[in-house]
A and B are shown apart, each in its own frame.
Chain A
Amino acid sequence: MTAATPARSRPSTFAQWWVLTVRFIIPTLRNGELALTIASSVVFTAGLYIPLSHVMGTATKGVSSSYAQYIMPLIALQAVTFAAMSTAFRAATDSLQGLNRRFRSMPMAPLTPVAARISAAVYRCSVALAVALICGHVIGFRFYRGAEYITGFCVLVIVVGAVMSFGADLVGTGSRNPEAMTPLFILPPLIFGLLSVGVQPVRQFPHWIQPIVRNQPISQFVDAMRVLGGDTTPAAGAVTWSVMMPTLAWLSGLAVVLVPVSAIVLSKRQ
């Protein structure tokens, strides 16, 4: 309100997106969120590998060179899911604190805050994946194909994380209740994770549930990641369209559903 008060101009969407993304990233360094992301990747590795390797090692013999090789895609997915789901918590907090309402009264595109929260989720997912891969290396997981396949593996996991964080963001924004988001972190990853081919081959499941296990998205993602990672045994399979298509279809399908849902959630009077 002094004479030097700057006049209003047309702010750039890119600058706004960047400012809001940094807003989420800076506090992760001092509020323990980054430490939690790192710790969760370690815990997922230990929690899945240590209790299951002995029993499941036998069940996966012939499919995979080691249980570490077999379980790695699921560890990576669980770590990234956890990092992505905390977007719901941030989105619900933003709604509750009235920040979303305030942003809507500002010269800003409605999707910019959402995009920023997803970008921050991608940052957490990248940290989670990096730590998971280091842990995987320790238990014996190795990439057996070239650099482009390693890149494909990582990009696929991060895209899965981004799509999940988009969904989590909309749930959080709509709910305005950060506490209610806790079951979202635990239940779906637990159910979809354990009922997938990430833990054991589909033939180990009871007959009646095999179609669900085989076709649910986590199993499809695991299959795709497994071939991208490669293995020493021929049973690992090759990177073909028939393996990759379901994954790409699930991801693009989810994105196609989430975009119109976001229009509804974001235009809702808060």
Chain B
Amino acid sequence: MSNSDKAVVVDRIRKTFGEVVALDDISFDIGRGEVIGLLGPNGAGKTTIVDILSTLSRPDRGRATVAGYDVVSEPAGVRRSIMLTGQHTAIDDMLTGYENLVMFGRLFGLSKSAARARASELIGEFDLVDAGNRRVGTYSGGMRRRIDIACGLVVQPQVAFLDEPTTGLDPRSRQGIWDLVARFKSAGIATLLTTQYLEEADELSDRIIVIDHGSVIAEGTADELKARTGGSFCEIVPRHLKDLPAIAAALGSLLPEKNRAALTSESERIALPAPRGANTLVETVWRLAAANIEVADVGLRRPSLDDVFLALTEDSSASRAPVTEVMQ
């Protein structure tokens, strides 16, 4: 892909606050219409990246372009092309939802009638018809988020920055925001979504960038990241712990020597790699049945992004649960 296909290009950006290095030569890009999940713990540098890309802060070094505009030398062009929602909603509590939408429409250059028409349209689209004429100060967290995002969409942005959009929301509201982000994709808006929630990055993003201490430590699709951590595995939970040695014996060649050696008297479950996926599971169940061993649970597992994240950010993997040891 040439650079013109990129909505965002970040090239070796560095940013320090006094002695603290917030971003250390970070580079990545976002294609047009692509949703990127920027994943990292608190203080990893997620908001600093968003601030630089939305022209709120300047990098010490390096270059970044958004919608083809340089964030340092052409901030006006960047600002015309983006929408930003921060970790906290930024709307006027004194105004109603509808009035907020009209205000942002006018601020983005719509005429009064166009801004009103667009506000009514968004109120409907964002499922806020009943609340549209109430002051935003009376809204629930999920409704505030929705109107906050809607205010960024009164005119179509090319790039959207969503900085932890679901932090502090209940599961239903979170699902509502997820549905919205899915619509960003269909509208062709390049989206940078920062989050601490792995399931969120997994659900919404085309690609995930994991950062920690201001550096990119992994990048790829959710599947690629999971594969890096070891792929699918089969997990067996015996009904009686004393059956564990018998299970290990019954599995025979299915259980590699390494996993067998990892079993101790403390182990509560057995995990084995499942290179053939469901076939490995069927074979496992068949062998256990043949040996007449009762199990509480047996299943095919894929590593969660939590596993990936912990594996990537943890210096020492020795302290991990037996399941993870099997995967490595």
Contacts and interface: CB of A to CB of B under 8 A. Distances in A.
Interface of A: 1-2, 4-12, 15-16, 19-20, 23, 26-27, 31, 97-99, 101-108, 269-270
21 contacts: A1-B184, A1-B186, A5-B153, A5-B155, A5-B156, A6-B155, A7-B155, A8-B156, A8-B157, A9-B109, A9-B155, A12-B109, A26-B99, A27-B95, A97-B90, A97-B91, A97-B92, A101-B56, A107-B109, A108-B107, A270-B56
Nearest to A33: B94
B154 to A, nearest CB: 8
Given A23-B95, A27-B95, A105-B54, A1 B183 contact: yes
A104 B186 CA distance: 28
A16 B183 contact: no
Give the most central of A31, A101, A105: most B CB within 10 Å. A105
Given A23-B103, A105-B55, A1 B79 contact: no
Interface SS of B by simple majority: loop
B156 A23 contact: no
Interface residues of B, number: 41
Contacts of B114: 6
Interface in B84-132: 84, 86, 88-95, 99, 103, 106-110, 114, 118, 121, 125
Given A15-B109, A23-B103, A99 B91 contact: yes
B286 to A, nearest CB: 51
Interface SS of A by simple majority: loop
A7 B108 CA distance: 10
Contacts of A26: 95, 99
A106 B88 contact: no
Given A6-B155, A8-B155, A98 B86 contact: yes
Given A6-B118, A11-B107, A26-B99, A98 B81 contact: no
A20 B99 CA distance: 12
A15 to B, nearest CB: 7
Contacts of A108: 79, 107
Contacts of A6: 110, 114, 118, 154-156
Nearest to A24: B94
B80 interface: yes
A269 B76 contact: no
A31 B96 CA distance: 13
Nearest to A98: B90
A22 to B, nearest CB: 8
Contacts of B189: 1
A7 B81 CA distance: 10
Contact of A19 (B79, B106, B156): B106
Contacts of A12: 109
User: Would you list the 10 A-B pairs with minimal beta carbon distance, nearest first?
Assistant: A11-B109, A98-B90, A102-B90, A27-B94, A5-B156, A19-B106, A1-B187, A105-B54, A105-B84, A107-B79
Contacts of A101: 56, 86, 90
Given A97-B90, A269-B51, 16 more contacts: A1-B156, A5-B155, A6-B110, A6-B156, A7-B155, A8-B108, A10-B80, A11-B107, A23-B95, A103-B107, A104-B55, A104-B56, A105-B54, A105-B56, A105-B79, A106-B79
Contacts of A27: 94-95
Contact of A1 (B54, B108, B125): B125
Interface string B173-196: 000000000011011010000000
A104 B79 CA distance: 8
